A and B are shown apart, each in its own frame.
Chain A
Amino acid sequence: MPGLPVDLDACIERLYKRELLAEPVIEAICAKTKELLMRESNVVHILSPVTVVGDIHGQFYDLLEIFRIGGFCPDTNYLFLGDYVDRGLFSVETISLLVCLKLRYPNRVHLIRGNHESRGVTQSYGFYTECARKYGSANVWHHFTDMFDFLTLSVVINNDIFCVHGGLSPSIHSIDQIKIIDRFREIPHEGPMADLVWSDPDAERDEFALSPRGAGYTFGAQVVKKFLEINNFSHILRAHQLCQEGYQVLYDDRLSTVWSAPNYCYRCGNLASVLEVDDAGSRFFNVFDQAPENAENRVDQQPVEKAQVEYFL
């Protein structure tokens, strides 16, 4: 990569071994990634074959398992649907690796923004704490979260499959309305940008409904059908929701959820999947279980739940 004072291949090699990059290297890589992402539209068009990955949440060993199952970069093209950080033990390693791969293979790796790629959410759910613990300061967290503001909001595969982290928005009928969003900012609490990373399908309804939480929407079968018709797409592909089977297909095969963090939080016991879209545009869920390294590497890290006998009161 021109103008980047680091050897990306060397960085990637270190990261595959779960070695951290130095803070100035992270700073340089994030700055360069911003430049690259800035040129991407809010709706990036790509062609299959591509393997689509859902939430990872810092489960680094499961990300490596995905590469072992689906193929390493650049042999396999990847589209990641967001939620790279928080919750798992290795958010820093996970996002460092993904960003390096994006920089190294910009046309073969695509990263969409999830609701956890935000300053607010990462302060509560672990990424901030992990950065401070592993680097002794919050600087690295600032570099990464500043870069998050540049991640794209959606990808369209083969002009046919619409990919987003959360779901649809009542403010968006056509993808042209996504293209005009000013996305270079912290994820707001309301509006179309928030809806794209937050909303969930509700199979029991047809239209949009208000979430009981008092903020956010759920979207029903008719909403999906209308959106696909208007944009001349056949399918919506999203992540954002945990499912025990690793994936879920709704609305007469018009919408899929793909979940890629097996045994989520190292205790849910769920499966995970990646969705492979082949040359012809056919979809295939490749389901997998957690990586064996997870158990081995919990011991030396801060435990997710205390597995020790405890004289609690």
Chain B
Amino acid sequence: MTMPPPPTTLPTPQNMATVMPTAVDAGKSITVSSFKITTRKLPILNAQEIDAMTEKLGITPPEMIFGNNIVSIEKIGEQGGEEWKIEFNALDALDLVDKTGNDMLKVAYSAAWQKQRERMHEGIKEVVKPFDWTYSTNYQGSISGTKEFTETTDQIPLDKLRRQDPILFFDDVMLYEDELADNGMSILSVKVRVMPARLLLLARFYMRLDDVVFRIRDTRVFVEFADGLVLREYQEKEDSYDNVKKKFPPYRDDIPAIMRDPNQMAEYLPLKSVKVEKLVL
């Protein structure tokens, strides 16, 4: 598949119409106060592209791999060029997945399966390229530009984000998804909303390994346009399957649906770590 040409007309805040998400698009962007926000949603990779990615990564990519999708926030310099940029893409996210096999989780019935197998087929001992097949990543975006984040005690101002300011641009972009061979799910997607004075981006990794563990890793990027202030918050949430199951309300038959929804699951998982960084552009 060839890459479609870049969009010729870009929506601007002047026309104030919200840019709505669509299933597939070749790329769209908005520029507000010299911050340019771009998203692109294309079909999953074809066989050739998967081979190329497999070679680059050294591991098999997830079943649904949106390798051409991106979400980026770019600060345009005074000369009109790119001064600083943070981009979210599947390749860089997957490059941070453990490829040594040291962090490998096993499916719940693995022990029983191995025992049975050892009786039957002792010859087959080789594991195909051990790696973290849950595709767990601590990806916080790919940065270009010389300015660097420093840790801060500042917090993302939730009060400002709770206000129903008009949304000029919104998108929800999938980077990858895998059903873990029907043992759960692993999903990385990025949402972004741009308001007149600020923006919020949330890159959420959600992983459920049935009867073993739930895991959420959130990266939020907040930009206050007037100050050129960029805050990036990274959170890890995790708990065992048993613990989470105890917290579910009893006698609800929509629990399978809850377990498929990272947004609902975020409420059930305890915070393990959080870090906030700051940068002024």
Contacts and interface: CB of A to CB of B under 8 A. Distances in A.
B76 interface: no
B110 A212 contact: no
Nearest to B179: A125
B200 to A, nearest CB: 7
Contact of A210 (B47, B66, B127, B263): B127
Given A267-B23, A268-B64, A310 B191 contact: yes
A312 B64 contact: no
B107 A215 contact: yes
A171 B45 CA distance: 34
A212 B127 CA distance: 6
B205 interface: no
Given A129-B254, A266-B23, A309 B47 contact: no
A138 B253 contact: yes
B74 interface: no
Interface string B117-136: 10011001111111101000
Main SS class of interface, A: loop
A198 B182 CA distance: 10
B202 interface: yes
> Which one of A121, A124, A198, A270 has the highest number of Cβ atoms from chain B below 10 Å of its Cβ?
A124
A41 interface: no
Interface string B122-161: 0011111111010000000000000000000000001001
A309 B20 contact: yes
Nearest to A243: B47
B64 A264 contact: yes
Nearest to A295: B23
B188 to A, nearest CB: 14
A214 B133 CA distance: 10
Interface stretch (A58-66, A150-158, A201-209): A201-209
Nearest to B169: A309
B124 A209 contact: yes
B237 interface: no
B249 interface: no
B269 to A, nearest CB: 16
B77 interface: no
Nearest to B105: A214
12 contacts: A202-B128, A211-B127, A211-B128, A212-B129, A212-B131, A215-B114, A241-B63, A244-B49, A268-B43, A307-B23, A309-B21, A313-B158
